[in-house]
Amino acid sequence: MMRLLFGCILAAAGVMAAAGTQDDAAIRVPLENYMKGHATGNGDFMRKAFHPDARMTYVNEGKLQIVPITDFIARFTGKPAADEALRKRYIENITASNDSAVATLVLDYPDVRFVDYMTLLKINGEWKIINKSFHKEPKL
């Protein structure tokens, strides 16, 4: 009886781990689209990454700035930055629980380093970024 119980517990843990792995991969999809949008300058990748009602929030000179994501996406010209070959982007971490997640991304550019904090929700079975907050660290 104990073996059966132990086997059931291990099987359940395996299912939970598999579900987490699937969600981790699904959560990465909008984050990777976001990074592709930066790399290519193509706003279509950003539209895939963000929910249409998403916002970008940050502090500029001590004041809170709230930007509709459509305004942020409009900044993408369809061309990569001139120094794109020198830019690096990566996902630093992801924490998820059920249908919500947070992720930290680093955008390391020649003159500045951005740390992006993304809030994601699983909406109708698809993960979307609903808020982007960031910190800008100029390099000296």
CA dihedral of 65, 68, 69, 74, whole degrees rounded to 10: -100
For the chain of 140 residues, list the mean pLDDT of each consecutive stretch of 10. Answer: 40 38 88 98 98 97 97 96 97 95 98 98 97 94
DSSP H/E element including 4: helix 2-40
- At residue 20, the pLDDT reads 52
- At residue 8, the pLDDT reads 40
β-strand 50-60 against 63-68: which pairing, if any?
antiparallel
- At residue 23, the pLDDT reads 85
- At residue 140, the pLDDT reads 81
- At residue 72, the pLDDT reads 97
Q: Which domains does the chain have, with CATH numbers?
A: 2-138 (3.10.450.50)
